[in-house]
Amino acid sequence: MDSRPSTILLWPPIGGINNENVGSGGGGVTFDSSSLRQQTRIPKAFIWPRRDRQAAIEELDAPVVDLHGFLRGDEASTRRAAELVRRACERHGFFQVTNHGVGERLVRDAMECTDAFFKLPLPDKLRARRKPGSLWGYSGAHADRFSSKLPWKETLSFGHHDSESCIVVDYFASTMGKDFDGMGRVYQMYCESMKKLSLAIMELLAISLGIDRSHYRELFEEGRSIMRCNYYPPCQEPEMTMGTGPHCDPTALTILNQDEHVGGLEVFASNKWQAVRPLHNALVINIGDTFMVRQLPAFPLSPLFRESNEFSTQELLYFGAALFWKHASFVFLWPPIKFALANGRYKSCLHRAVVHRHGERRSLAFFACPREDKMIRPPKDLAAGGRLYPDFTWAQFVEFTQRHYRADVRTLHTFTNWLQSSSSSSTSMA
């Protein structure tokens, strides 16, 4: 007889969870991590399939790019940095950066704030709970998705935009109270530093592709961004679960500040899982699906993220995401999509986060997003071979999903038809 406990859920009760209220973003699942750690065996809902839990036995060859010369405008240093970035992005899309201009004290303060938040009593954390239809807030396990594969983590997400100088401070004050103004100010400064760095990385990516260095910077300059704080508690059976399941980021760029004392980030490259070793005062950069192409007719199911994507419905609307269609033991991508920014030159690889028996782990992920009214298309120099995906703006995509169509695995295919239909209607009315 299986003696594993049922998942400890605060809301909703297990009997109240169904595909309709989960898929519509009508709520989330919350668990008490401190109570879970007191049990000798983890609940069934946190046990992942064995294929997703294959151990990493090697370290990823992720180059370390020194940005000091590039940020100072040194041409030779810029060429060297761009070459390292190009090689990494053509192979697996991951590299680390040092001398990145983000103050070590600020990074430490942000990590300390993350520790402080997740160590709060659960009722206090629930003051910031992610509400239905919202991008921001706290969740245990993962909001908007319930399955037999819950991640062993807690998250806190909030937004940042340059035009609103105190947006992060205001968020913490409105959700947590004035006592958290200090935490809000630290995260505000951290997001501002991440945004500045993300624009510099955009320039470096453009240089590495041999196009105008301002092309991607202009696209993202006034865009909104999402900041996510992750906390992975110690787990009594770490070999049975995942902190974050295998997934590809739907964004263009992610900047990750991973715990330098406790590793956990792993990348699926060269047909195997490989660990990304934490480095002191280094940040991990990875490109997402909007920089790559998925054009092969089918891939084996096990290496792909399938239903374990760790982004919520609202975040997928915010970012744009890969379209996939599951059938039998394969994942078919239909239609074959050339994503907008690099037209397939660079790779976006599967990655995941593992947990540990004795050590807790935390990380800070910053996701760069374009401005809503910017047209998403690759530079002409990178689209010489033709394109299979239409131009669109983020605003169009969000309007479609919020007003006309509930987001699901066929969203982008249906969105394409909607764009074509809207264009035809406008032409006939002219």
Assigned token pair, 216: 């991607």
* H helix intervals, 153-250: 167-176, 181-209, 215-220
Torsions phi, psi of 227, nearest 5? -110, 130
Rg, Å, the chain Cα set: 21
Residue with tokens 């739907």: 250
For residue 256, what are the β-bridge partners? 284, 365
Residue with tokens 């910031």: 128
Strands 244-247 and 351-353, by their bridges, are antiparallel
Distance CA 216, CA 202 (A): 6
Asked if residues 128 and 204 have their Cβ atoms less than 8 Å apart, the reply is no
Assigned token pair, 271: 């047909």
175 residue type, one letter: T
Active-site hit among 361, 371, 377, 406: 361
Has 345 been annotated as catalytic? no
For residue 287, what are the β-bridge partners? 253
Residue with tokens 């000091």: 68
Closest CA to 352 of 278, 247, 252: 247
Which residue numbers are catalytic? 361
